[in-house]
Structure 1
Amino acid sequence: MDATPPQIRRATGADTDRVNTLIHASSAYHGEYAPILDGYRLGPDYLERHPTYLAVDEHDTLMGFYSLLVDPATLAEHGFALPELNLLFVDDRLQGKGIGRRLIGHMLDLARSEGITEIRVVSNPPAEPFYRSVGAEKTGTVPPTPPRVTWERPELRFRL
């Protein structure tokens, strides 16, 4: 990582465009994984409603972000029993510099402070090794949900 570690701050509705730009620029969702993002766009209400945190540099340039689903009504609406890491993206040019690890560390600290004991992750298959390297345990797979998701996805858990 560069000499100055990223700052992590809560996202606001004003961050919507750059968060969406980062999501759609991600090479992790090109090729066979591209359909999952067809028409996908976060709105300002999403960033305000769900704990979403940005990793930014000293100029407030977005380096990466994560978002948790923790609201009981939202979890029930999606059929989730546990809080879930809904999104984690790091700028392709900055991967391997510790930003994802810093975001996960922040998420785990936040979860602990809120009394959360487990966080579910449904991962893009190529990201599974990263999640395992930061302490998540594989618990199974999630079947495809065509037409957008035509592949199995690893299901992992952070146990706090």
Structure 2
Amino acid sequence: MGRSTLCTMPRMTPTPRATAVRRAVAGDAKRLTRLVRGSRAYGGPYAAMVAGYRVGPDYIESHRVFVAVDTGDPAGRVLGFYSLVLAPPELDLLFVADGSQGRGIGRLLVEHMRSQARAAGLDRVRVVSHPPAEGFYRSVGALLTGTVSANPPAVAWDRPELEFPIA
């Protein structure tokens, strides 16, 4: 028969409203991919960008990926996630499930990202924003630094470039 493995739960950081942030594990890959592909923020003209997007186990293992989960849900429903790349410092991904937006999950993830960046010794973190998300990033302290030009066919629109100062 197959091998037996001991599975331990990732360490969670508790937060208000039955939400916790924990390190993502390879088993989260399909849920994170569904969250990205199903995001209403990428509807209409933006849909092509995420249609084939995949957050794979290899990505999760090679980057600092963290998920916000509903601690009141026995399955640990994923409410959102982010990915912090250390070199060069960049917030590569940040998504909040459509039904969880407006509950402070995005702000929670940004604060968690900042604490991870601070612990890693970073003094700033770049983010190239999806155009509709620019207002959110600015509301949580990111500063506009420029614009990244379109790069068809992968990305057919200009995107705001912002930076989070890490104190």
Distance 1:106 1:144 in 2: 30
CA RMSD of aligned residues (A): 1.3
Aligned residues: 149
C-alpha deviations, 1:24-66, integer Å up to 9, x for none?
A: 1100111111121132112101001100000001121100000
CA contact (8 A) 2:127 2:161 kept: yes
Distance 2:18 2:113 in 1: 16
C-alpha deviations, 1:51-98, integer Å up to 9, x for none?
A: 00000011211000000111x4xxxxxxxxx31100000001111110
1:131 match: secondary structure = helix
* TM-score computed with the length of structure 2 as normaliser: 0.86
Percent identity of the aligned residues?
52
Residue from 30, 37, 41 that aligns with 2:54: 41
Structure 2: gaps of 5 or more residues: 1-14
1:100 match: secondary structure = helix
* TM-score computed with the length of structure 1 as normaliser: 0.89
Q: Which residue is equivalent to 2:8?
A: none
Q: Which residue is equivalent to 1:110?
A: 116
CA contact (8 A) 2:80 2:105 kept: yes
Distance 1:3 1:39 in 2: 34
Distance 1:5 1:52 in 2: 20
1:86 match: secondary structure = strand
Q: Which residue is equivalent to 1:31?
A: 44
Where has structure 1 moved over 4 Å in runs of 4 or more?
none
1:41 match: secondary structure = coil
CA contact (8 A) 2:37 2:51 kept: no
Distance 1:64 1:37 in 2: 16
Q: Which residue is equivalent to 2:84?
A: 68
Distance 1:65 1:54 in 2: 4
Structure 1: gaps of 5 or more residues: 73-81
